[in-house]
């Protein structure tokens, strides 16, 4: 149990190392493109889930009538 608690904590040095490795792997110019793609993907996912929720609400309203 104690090992899980220690391993689950991320400190500032771990974040610095992770960022450094990401920059080494992808390069400084590629990272903004990756983040832009990630943001667009999240936006599309949110839009799809919102549409799905609206469709469920419409179906529920039509069943109630």
DSSP secondary structure code for residue 28 in this structure: T
DSSP secondary structure code for residue 19 in this structure: H
The predicted model scores a pTM of 0.50
Higher model confidence: residue 3 or residue 29?
A: 29
What was the pLDDT predicted at 30?
87
3-class secondary structure, 63 = helix
Residue 5 predicted with pLDDT over 60: no
Higher model confidence: residue 2 or residue 21?
A: 21
How many angstroms separate the most distant Cα atoms in the chain?
60
34: which residues sit within 8 A by CB, 6+ positions away?
26
């Amino acid at each position: 149990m104690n090992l899980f608690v220690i391993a689950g904590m991320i400190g500032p040095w771990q974040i610095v190392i992770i960022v450094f490795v990401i920059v080494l792997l992808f390069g400084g110019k590629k990272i903004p493109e990756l983040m832009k793609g990630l943001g667009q993907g999240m936006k599309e996912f949110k839009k799809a889930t919102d549409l799905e929720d609206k469709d469920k609400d419409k179906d529920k309203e039509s069943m109630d009538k």
